[in-house]
Structure 1
Amino acid sequence: MSGIVGYIGKQPAQPILLDCLKQLDYRGYDSAGLAISNHQRIEVRKEMGRIEDLEASLILEPIAKGTLGIGHTRWASHGTPSALNSHPLSDDKNQFFVVHNGIIENDHQLKRMLTSEGHVFVTETDTEVIPHLLSHYNTGNFEETVQKVIPLLKGAFALAIMSHSEPNTIIAISQENPLILGFGKHEAFLSSDIPALLTYTREIHPIKNGEMAILTPDGTKVKTLLGELLEPKKVFIEMSKEAIHLQDHEHYMLKEIMEQPKAIKRTLDGRLTSEGVILPELDAFFAELDVHRIRKIDIVGSGTSYHSGIIGKKLLDTMLDIPVEVSISSEFSCEHGSLGPGNLVIVLSQSGETADTLSALKEAKRCGCPTIAITNNKRRNIARKADYTLFTSAGPELAVAATKAYTSQISALMLLAIALTEKTNGPGMALIPDLLNALHQLPEDIEKSLIMTQDAIDQFAQVTNDQDHLFLIGRGLDYVLALEGALKLQEVAYLHADAYAAGEMKHGTMALITPGVPVIALATQEKLREKTISNIRELKARDAFVVGITTTGDSDVSDVVDEVLYIPEAHPFLMPILAAIPLQLLAYYAGTVRGYDVDRPRNLAKSLTVE
C-alpha cells in the first residue's frame, strides 16, 4: 500500500525524504508528495506519477528549505490517482497536514458531520476527514488535539501529522498498520518499512497500537493516546544495505528469482537434520498443545501465499490423518465453517501486514483457534499477533511480484508438515526419510533449474510479444503451479493467462484453443504424466503451440510438444518449487520483452494493508 516517511533533525529534510520515498516506491506509485517545515511555515508539493516526477517538480520550482517534514507515496484506494488526491492533505484552513496509509472506515459519516458544520471537502479520499477533524476539534494544543481525534477514527491506519501552529513538531500514529520510528544522532525518522531507514539508522521502534510518537528538535517521545510517557523498546536492524541493492541485476524481480537457492538454504538452515526437523520457534506449540486433538487444519493466504497454501494442503493431506482446508484470506474472515480450539489455523503472508490475512487471523483467534504464522518479517503485525511464528528468512523482497517468498513458504510448509507428522505419528512417516534427503538437496536443485532454463525461457518469451492470451495446464500439484504461473504472467506481463486442470480443458475451455495459441503444459508429476500427455495431444490436434515443462530425460513429453524445458528431477512434493523457476523467469522476460516495468506493475502494490 501507500508509504509514509518522516524526518526531523539538523540536515535538509527534502533530500532525505525523497531518498526514503524511493526505497518505498514498491508500496505505492500513483502519486507522491512532501510537506516541509522551516520551523516557521510548512510548504507542500504533490505530483501525480512516480517519485521522480515529484523530484523534477522540486528542481523546477523549489520550496522552502527546512529540517523536518513528512512524505508519502500513494497507491490509490479511495479516489482516482491525481495530484489533488495525493498526500499530504490539509483542511480548508491549512492548519493541519496529514499523510496516511490504510482505510478510515467511517469516513462517510464523519464527512457528513463535518460538512454540516461548514467544512468544505475538495478530494475523493477518506484521508481528508482527518485534517478537517483536527481543525474542527482544535484545542490550541497539537498533542491534545490528536489525542481527541484519533478515537473518532475507525479502521486500520498509520498517520504522520504536522501543524501550522507548531511547525517544529511531527506526530505519528499507528493503528493496525505499520509505522516505524528510527533513531539517529540528534535526529529521528519515520517509515512504513525498514528498507527506507537502512542508510540512516539501525535503531528502530515499531509504533504500536495506542501509541503516538512525538518528534521535536528537543528529542523524540513515545506516549499512549492518554498521554502516559512510554520507554520505547529499541530494536537493532540486522538487514544489510546490500540486501536491498540491485547489484548487477537490471530489476529486483530477476535478482530475487536468482536469490532463491540462498533463500531456501536460509529457510532450511538450523531446522533440517539428517534424522528429522527441528523447529525451535514451535517448541512451545508442541509443548502446550496436544496435537493429537487437532481435528482440522485451515491454511489461509492471499494471492501467491494462497497458492503456497494449496501446495501445503496437498502435503498435509498426504502426511497427516487430519482434514485440511485452504482459504483465500478475504473469504475466510466472513465465510469460514465451524471454528474452535480444535482447529489449527496457519496464516501465510510475505509482508506480515496483509490486511485481509490479519483480519482472518483476528477471526481465528476470536474463535479460540491456535494460530501459526508463516511470514518473512519478525516485527510485523501478523508475527506479533499469531500464537506462534515460523519465519521463512528469505530476505527482503522489493519487486511487487512474489518469487522467493513463494518457494520459501512452500519450504517452510514442508518443514511444518514433517514436524506435525512426527509428532502425530501420521501416515506420512514412511515418506520422511526420502523427503529429508530431497530437502537437503533442494538449494542445489534450484540452482540447476535456474541454469537449465534461463536462456531457453528468455527465447520463448519472445513468442509472447504479440500474444494477448496464454494458457497453462497441469494435473495435481502441477495444476496449482499453473495457477501461480498464470498469476505471475498477469502481474508483470499483462497477459491474459489462464490456468486449467489439464483434464478439464475438454469440458469447455477447448473452444478457446485456436491455431498458434501458446500453451504451457506442466508434466513434473510422474504418476500423472501419461494422462497429461493425452491432454497435450488434444491441444496439438487443434494446432496449439505447446511448450512442455518436465524433468530431465523425459522423452515422452518432448515427443508431443513444440518445445520442451527440462528441470532436475526431485521428490514429487518439491517439484512445485523447481518448476516455479521457469515460470517466474517466463513472466519476467515476457514483461521486459513487452516493455513493462516488471518491478512495479500497474495498479498493484507490494504490501496490501487495506481490505
Structure 2
Amino acid sequence: MCGIVGYTGPKTATPILIDGLKRLEYRGYDSAGICLADKSLNVIRTVGKVRTLEDRVKELGLPTEHCGIAHTRWATHGAPSEANAHPHTDDKKQFAVVHNGIIDNYACLRKKLEAQGHRFSSDTDSEVIPQLIAEFYQGDFCKAVTQALSKVSGTYGLAITSIYDPGVIVVARYGSPIVIGFGNGCNLVASDITALVPYTREVSYLNDGEMAILSSDKVEMCNLDNVPIEKRVATIDWDVEATGKGSYEHFMLKEIHEQPDAIGNTIRGRLNHQLDSTRLGGLNMTPHDMAKINRIVIAGCGSSMHAGWVGEYYFEEIARIPTEVEQAAEFRYRNPIITPDTLVLPISQSGETADTLAAVREATNKGATVAAICNVVGSTIAREAGRGVYLHAGPEISVASTKGFTCQVTALLMLAVMFGRNRHLGREQGAELLKEIASIPDLIRQVLKQAPVIERIAAKYVKADNFFYIGRGYLYPTALEGALKLKEISYVHAEGYHAAELKHGSIALLEENVPVVAMANAVPGQDKMIGNIRECLARHAPVIAVVSGDDHTADELADDIIRVPMSSRYVAPLTTIVALQLFAYYFAKFRGCPIDQPRNLAKSVTVE
C-alpha cells in the first residue's frame, strides 16, 4: 500500500522523486524518504507527509545525483518513525531498497542474518531484503537480487540501488504493483502510473516473478531465473492536469464534481440503440456465452463491495440471474461453490486490491468465467482476468472513493441490461433503461447544484459524533456507502442499516444526539421508510431525509431535507450517493479533518 518511485537519467533526480511522491501520497503518508545513489548512498528520511521530507531535503541542500529511489509509507510492520521509514539499506550501506508488500518469513530471515553478523536498525520486515542482497553479493548486482528473493516468502514490489552500479535500478515484483516508464533519455519506475504521467506516456507493467534492470538509456527485463522476456508497451491516456486539484480545495471535492463527465466516459459508445441493449466489447462474450451463465458472483472490498450489492439488485431484477456478493478477502478461504457456468465479477477501482486479486486467481483456478470491473488500464486484476469493463473515470486521487463508486454502479447497470436483453428483457424495457442510463450525468449535475443546501445541513450537525444511515432495496447499499464516506474522512461513528433492521436491536442507540440519514426517495419501499422515520422520531433522533424531486411525502416529518432529482429505483442509488458524498465532504471540512488523506487509510490496499 506504499508508494514507490525511481528515476535514472540525465536530470537531477531529487525534484522528480519528490514530485512523484507527492502524486503517490494517497498510497501512504506515515513517513517518506529518498535515496540518491552514486558511489555512495545518500539517504534522507522523515516522519510525516512528503512536504516534511521536501523541507528536510532543502535544509540539507538539494542533492545533484542523477539516479535515485523514493518511498512514501503506509505502516504494516513497525510503527511510523524515521528508523522505520524507507529506503532501507544493509548495515554497510552498499544497497538501498524501497518495498511495497509484506515479507511473511522476515522474522526467520532476520534471525539468521543477525547470527551471520548483520546489524538491523529498524523494526520493519523490509530491512531483511538489502541485508540478504549484501550477503549474496559477489560482483553481480542482479544475481544477488535474484538469490535474495529466492529466500523471501511474501509479497513485494521493489526498487533497489547499489554503490557498485551507479545509475542502475533493479526492480522486481511479486504480488505488489510495479510499472516501468520509458522516458526521453531516461527511465522510471513507480507503483502507480500517477507518478509517471508528467514524464512519459509509454509504460510496461511487470507481472509476478518478473524483474527489470533500468539505466538511463535502456531497460532490460527478465524473470527471476534471469531468462530475458519481452513486454508490451502500453500508452497512458491520462492528462497531467487530471492528476491535479485544479481550482478545488481538495481532490475529493474535485472528483465529486467530475462525476457527470466520468460517468459519461463510462457510458460513451456503450449504448446500442439498434438493439435496445448495451455494448460492452471488453466482456468478450458472445450471446451464446452469456446465455450459458446461470449464476453471478461479485467480489470486492469497501466501496467496491457496496457497488456490488447494488449490482446484485440489478442482475436479479433486470437479468433474472441469481447473484451474490462476496467479501473478496473471504472468497478463497471459504472454498466457494464455483462452476463453469458461474460468472465472477471482481470489482476494484485500482485493479491492484490484494484480496480481490486473490479472488480472481481462485475463481480462475476453479474454472469460472472471470470479467473484471476496473478503472486503471493495464492493472493486475484487469490483465489476469483478461476480460471485463474499464470505467474510464480518470485518476481518483482522494482516498475516499467517489467517482470510482458511481462509475462502478453505472457499469453494473449496463452489464445487467446486456444480460437482460440476452434473456427475458423486451426491447421496450431495454430502450427505457438506455434512456435512464443516458440521463445519469445530467441528473448528477442537478444534485451538484444542491451543494450549498447540503453544506448548510452539514454545518448544522457538525457536533454530532454518531450517525445512522438507513435505506431499503437499491438504497440499502447506498446507506452503507454513505456511512462509509462519513466515517472515512470525518472520524465519526456512522453505521449503515437496512431500515427494517432498526427495530431488531440498533434502535436502542437512538437519541436526540444521534442523527438519522434516511433514504426516503420516491421509489418502491418509500411507504415502509416513512414508517421507519416515524420510529426514529419517536426516539427523539433528528432525521435528515433524502427525497425525490417535488415529492413532499417526508417534508413534515424530517428535520432537514436533501432533494435529488426524481428517478427510477435503478438510478436513485447514483443521485443519492452524490448527495451523501457532498454531505460527508462538508461535514469533514467543518470539523477540520484532512479530507484527502484520512488517518490510517491508504488508497490502494495491496497487502492482505
Q: TM-score, normalised by structure 1?
A: 0.96
- The answer to whether the aligner puts 1:445 opposite 2:443 as a matched pair is yes
Aligned to 2:277, what secondary structure does the other structure show?
Answer: coil
Instruction: Report if aligned partners of 2:34, 2:87 keep a CA contact under 8 Å in 1.
Output: yes
The one-letter code of the counterpart of 1:374 is I
Does the 8 A contact of 1:42 with 1:167 survive in 2?
A: no
Residue 481 of structure 1 corresponds to which residue in structure 2? Answer: 478
- CA-CA distance at 1:367 after TM superposition: 0.6
Aligned length: 607
Structure 1 residue 231: deviation in Å? 4.2
In 1: Cα distance, 2:204 partner to 2:476 partner? 43
Distance (Å, rounded) in 2 between the aligned partners of 1:351 and 1:283: 18
Do structure 1's residue 455 and structure 2's residue 449 form an aligned pair?
A: no
Moved more, 157-166 or 488-497: 157-166
Checking the alignment, whether the CA contact within 8 Å between 1:319 and 1:429 is kept in structure 2 is: no
Structure 1 pair 45/443, CA: closer, same or farther in 2 (3 Å)? Answer: same
Query: Could you tell me how far 1:182 is from its partner in structure 2?
Result: 1.4
Per the alignment, residue 124 of structure 1 pairs with 123
Counterpart residue number, 1:434: 432
Greater mean deviation of Cα atoms: 306-315 or 500-509: 500-509
Q: What is the CA-CA distance between 1:91 and the residue it aligns to?
A: 1.6
- Equivalent of residue 597 in structure 2, options 600, 605, 608: 600
Residues 323-472 of structure 1: matches in 2 within 5 Å? 323-423=322-422, 425-426=423-424, 431-451=429-449, 453-472=450-469
- For the 8 Å contact 2:277–2:430, the answer to whether it is kept is no
- Which residue identity does 1:445 align to in structure 2? L
Aligned to 2:574: 577
Q: Which blocks of at least 5 consecutive residues in structure 2 are unaligned? A: none
Secondary structure of 1:569 counterpart = coil
- For 2:276 and 2:265, the matched residues in 1 are separated by 17
Cα distance, 1:354 vs structure 2? 0.3
Question: Shift of the alpha carbon at 1:232?
Answer: 4.2
The aligned counterpart of 2:14 is 14
**What per-residue deviation string (whole Å, max 9, x for no partner) do you get for residues 89-145 of structure 1?**
112222211000112222223223323333333322111111111112122211111
Relative distance call for 1:218 and 1:582 in structure 2 (3 A) is closer
Q: Which moved more, 1:109-118 or 1:43-52?
A: 109-118
Q: Which residue in 2 is equivalent to 1:146?
A: 145
C-alpha deviations, 1:201-239, integer Å up to 9, x for none? 222222233332212345332233333334443222221
SS of residue in 2 equivalent to 1:576: helix
Matches of 1:593 and 1:336 in 2, distance apart? Answer: 46
The equivalent residue for 2:308 is 309
Residues 115 and 462 from structure 1, CA distance in 2 versus in 1: closer, same or farther, beyond 3 angstroms?
same
Q: RMSD over aligned Cα, in angstroms? A: 1.7
Conserved in 2, the CA contact under 8 Å of 1:370 and 1:387? no
Pairing 1:200-349 to 2, within 5 Å after superposition: 200-274=199-273, 275-282=275-282, 284-286=284-286, 290-349=289-348
**d(CA) in 1 for partners of 2:7 and 2:300?**
35
CA distance in 1, matches of 2:570, 2:28: 36
Q: After TM superposition, give the deviation of residue 552 of structure 1 in Å.
A: 1.1
- Which runs of structure 2 are paired with 1:80-119 in the superposition (5 Å)? 80-119=79-118
Q: Deviations over 1:217-264 (max 9, x none)?
A: 453322333333344432222211121121111111001000111111
CA contact (8 A) 1:519 1:545 kept: yes
CA distance in 2: counterparts of 1:208 and 1:511, whole angstroms: 51
Unaligned runs of 5+ in 1: none
In 2, Cα distance between equivalents of 1:492 and 1:119: 42
For residues 47-99 of structure 1, the C-alpha deviation after alignment (integer angstroms, 9 at most, x for no partner) is 00001111111122236431111000001111111111110011222221100
Q: CA deviation at 1:362?
A: 0.6
**Separation (CA, whole Å) in 1 of partners of 2:402 and 2:492:** 18
Verify the 8 A CA contact 1:478 1:525 in the aligned structure 2.
no
SS in 2 for 1:139: coil
Between 1:508-517 and 1:411-420, the stretch displaced more is 508-517
Q: Distance in 2 between matches of 1:553 and 1:279?
A: 34
Matches within 5 A, 1:478-557: 478-557=475-554
Equivalent AA in structure 1 for residue 394 of structure 2: G
CA distance in 2, matches of 1:6, 1:233: 20
The answer to which of 113-122 and 347-356 deviates more is 113-122
Amino acid at match of 2:30: D
C-alpha distance in 2, partners of 1:405/1:211?
29
Q: CA deviation at 1:296?
A: 1.8
Per-residue CA deviations over 1:278-303 (Å, capped at 9, x if unaligned) read: 4342463226x633332321001000
**TM-score normalised by L of structure 2:** 0.96
Counterpart Cα distance in 2 of 1:218 and 1:540: 69
The residue aligned with 1:33 is: 33
Deviation per CA, 1:452-508, whole angstroms, max 9, x where unpaired?
Answer: x21111011112321111111111122211100000001011110111111221222
Q: Deviations over 1:415-437 (max 9, x none)?
A: 111111122x2368764232112
Q: Give SS of 1:358's match.
A: helix
User: 1: CA distance between counterparts of 2:602 and 2:394?
Assistant: 18
8 Å CA contact 1:465–1:593 kept in 2: the answer is: yes
Q: Quick one: structure 1 residues 121 and 17, their matched pair in 2 at CA, closer, same or farther if it must change by over 3 Å?
A: same
Residue number in structure 2 paired with 1:135: 134
Secondary structure of the corresponding residue to residue 462 of structure 2: helix
Q: Secondary structure at the match of 2:255?
A: helix
Counterparts of 1:64 and 1:250, CA distance in 2: 32
Q: Secondary structure at the match of 1:111?
A: helix
Which secondary structure does the structure 1 equivalent of 2:371 belong to?
Answer: strand
* 8 A contact 1:138–1:145 mirrored in 2: yes
Q: Which residue of 1 aligns with 2:2?
A: 2
Query: Per-residue displacement from partner, 1:568-610 (whole Å, max 9, x unpaired)?
Result: 1112111000101110001111111100111111110001110
C-alpha spacing 1:341/1:456, structure 2 compared with 1 (3 Å): same
Q: Secondary structure at the match of 1:78?
A: coil
Helix, strand or coil: the match of 2:44? strand
